[in-house]
Amino acid sequence: MIDPDDNTQTSIIERSTDYKPPHTWRSWLIGRPLSTADAPHETIGKMVGLAVFASDALSSNAYATQEILMILAVAGAAGFSYVFPISIAIVLLLVIVSISYEQIIHAYPDGGGAYIVGRDNLGEISALIAASSLLTDYILTVSVSISSGVAQIVSAYPAADEYRVPIAISAVIFITLINMRGVKESGAAIAVPSFLFIIIMFATVGTGMVRHLTGSLGTVVNPPELANHGIPIAVTPFLILHAFSSGTAALTGIEAISNGITAFKEPRSKNAGITLIWMAFILASLFLGISFLTGKISAVPSEIETVISQLARTVFNGQGFLYLAVILATTVILILAANTAFAGFPRLSALMAKDGFLPRQLTYRGSRLVYSRGIIALAVLASFLIIIFQASVTRLIPLYAIGVFLSFTISQAGMALRWWKSGHLKPGQEIAETGSKLRFDPLWKLKMTANGFGSVCTGIVMMVFAVTKFQDGAYVVLILIPILVSVFWMIHRHYNNLAKKLSLDNFGVIPPHATRHRVIMPVSGVHQGTLAALRYARMLSDDVTAVHVTIEPAESEKVRQKWELWGEGVRMVMLDSPYRLFVEPLLEYIADIAEQRQSGETITIVVPEFVSNSRMTGALHTNTANILREQLKNQHGIVITNVPYHVHEAGTKQGV
């Protein structure tokens, strides 16, 4: 509060407020508002971090193996024997990518992942390509994971197939509300089901391995019918690469931790790095186990029953309690996998908005200290895709991983260049870059080689994916990314041009006040509200003109008579409107006055505005003030001022 005894002469006064947001329906829905001081307490530890940021990567175990089988199915049952070798190759790629992101986490402790790495080392174009790839991937993560979760429900209850899209949209809304409550609460909400999934899947894989080694595993009973692909074709290198590219969906979500480092408790980099290692180990173990057992039980890829469902009922001898536990846990983790995107998309979009490549509104942190507008934007975009593709995982997958591997390639190439720059510094020398501090690293050659090799590997995978999945829909992403980059540049150019025009650099002194002030006041009727606006207008200037648009002559005559009685001698212009238009004649009159105004003259439009104390009764009135404001706000040298007049109806409390 202001100290009345402080007589210090200053033009800046600091004042605190005791106001606290009231409890509303939003408080019940997303929680009580948090103050900025609560931000340090909203960070998360490694265990919760694993649930928040690794759910996407871990959930890919539910569909990655199936997507490999879907491609190999054209070769018939003979092609299924390649599932496990392909999975081993994907896990090796997982190790390479994980090592790269472990380095990124420690080099860039403020987060940002591929976008920040690309911006600091490869330039803005590379950063925008990486960002557009990641944003696209986050949207697809929500669509694919939730659609896959719905597929698990359909596997257990085929009758639900016709309700795929409504169920999926409902799940998006549910995850959105969870994330609007804040990182800490969303993490706590998904931690239990996430670890339940890990435990149940390890139990399933472990039981399956034991039964395989003891010779009691067997094969799938009554497997779904294999889709008719015509005459089986030979297994070719192209087919193997095609299947490999589909299976790389297992790597999606690995970059999420590097984007969300700021969500972790201190020491942030250390906690985030350990979480990444945990995630990579769990993902690799489950993926290899599922792929190995899938081949042993002769599982068949199908939209009717998922591979996980076939594996569970084979391992646990039918659709008993343990089978239902696997299906339930898998469904929940697939739906909650969208949480990774909800944690990453708003943070990345906020970083880009801060740099001026996305609308500034995305930097806004809501009442629960999360980027609420980014969360809502992600939910809307993902729901749109679910509707377009009818919640089909197979139709969405071709759009999926190409953006991920493009960002992988850029981030690793950027890190390789970073280590090269580090190697050319002197020991103890330090250079401050936008996103981090660059220091000499004695292991720079080893790290540069590792990241360079990783960049080549992920680049090759990206090109393989683009070629093999081109006809399936990958071309959409290849077209979309350049469009997004162009949009980002247009937004950036707008903000830069605006900043230059509003800059105070070399501005000089503030120009003198206008020497003349003219006021125009539209009048639709003469009443207490009109007179209140007139009194305000006369306080601004002695040159006041009231303007009435004549639509109904009889009504206009009443206005004329009342104005002569109550208008205090202020002149009124009666604008005839034979076509019964109100706004257009008024705008034309204002434009004529504006063209004739003198140098230094300011025109102010004073608009009486009726304000009802009830939204219901307010809807019964035409808000002329808003209409005029929208029409006049783009005209230079014109100020629009609304003078509200409040009418408190009977039975309601009057405001102070």
Segment 450-472, tens digit of pLDDT: 889 889 988 888 888 788 777 77
Quote the CA–CA distance of 298 and 77 in Å, as a whole number.
Answer: 8
For range 375-401, the mean pLDDT: 84
CA distance 412 to 398: 23
Cα–Cα distance for residue pair 258/275, rounded to 1 Å: 10
What domains appear along the chain, each with residue ranges and CATH number? 35-496 (1.20.1740.10), 516-647 (3.40.50.620)
Whether 7 has a pLDDT exceeding 70, the answer reads no
| Confidence band, pLDDT 50/70/90 cuts, at residue 651 | very low
**β-bridge mates for residue 430, sequence order:** 439
Residue 297 pLDDT exceeds 60:
yes
How far apart (Å, rounded) are the C-alpha atoms in residues 429 and 440? 7
Give percent of the chain with pLDDT exceeding 90: 28
Residue 490 confidence (pLDDT) above 90: yes
Residue 243 has pLDDT above 90, yes or no: no
Characterize 81-96 residue by residue with b for buried, 16 or more Cβ atoms within 10 angstroms of its Cβ, and e for exposed: ebbbebbeebbebbeb
Sorting pLDDT into bands at 50, 70 and 90, what band is 655? Answer: very low
Over the range 404-418, which residues count as b (16 or more CB within 10 Å of their CB) and which as e? Answer: bbbbbbbbbbbbbbb
| Longest CA pairwise span in the chain (Å) | 105
Compute the chain's Rg from CA coordinates. Answer: 32
Query: Is residue 332 over pLDDT 90?
Result: no
Question: What pLDDT was estimated at residue 652?
Answer: 45
Output the pLDDT for position 357.
94
pLDDT confidence bin for 400, thresholds 50/70/90: low
With a CB cutoff of 8 Å and minimum separation 6, the contacts of 447 are: 103, 415, 419, 441
Q: pLDDT by residue (tens digit) across 90-110?
A: 999 999 889 888 888 888 888
Reading the block at residue 112, the tokens are 């940002």
- Peptide bond preceding 267 in cis form (omega within 30 of 0): yes
User: How confident is the model at residue 6, as a pLDDT?
Assistant: 54
Q: Of residues 86 and 476, which shows the higher confidence score?
A: 86
Q: Each residue of 532-560: pLDDT tens digit?
A: 999 999 999 899 999 999 988 888 999 99
Average pLDDT score over the chain: 84
**Strand 430-432 with 437-439, pairing:** antiparallel
375/343 Cα distance (integer angstroms): 8
**Among 633, 352, 373, 359, which Cα is nearest to 498's?**
359
pLDDT, mean of residues 187-216 = 90
CA distance 68 to 292: 13
Give the span between the Cα atoms of 580 and 553, in whole angstroms. Answer: 11
Question: With 90 as the cut, is the pLDDT of residue 232 above it?
Answer: no
Residue 407 has pLDDT above 60, yes or no: yes
Mean pLDDT: which of 18-32, 232-246, 642-656 is highest? 232-246
For residue 222, the surrounding DSSP H or E stretch is none
User: What confidence tens digit (pLDDT) does each residue in 350-373 have?
Assistant: 989 999 999 998 988 877 778 889
Given a cut of 50, whether residue 1 has pLDDT beyond it is no
**Residue 493 pLDDT > 60:** yes
- The mean pLDDT value for 215-232 works out to 77
- Rounded to whole angstroms, the Cα distance separating 222 from 225 reads 9
Q: How many residues does this entry show for the chain? A: 656
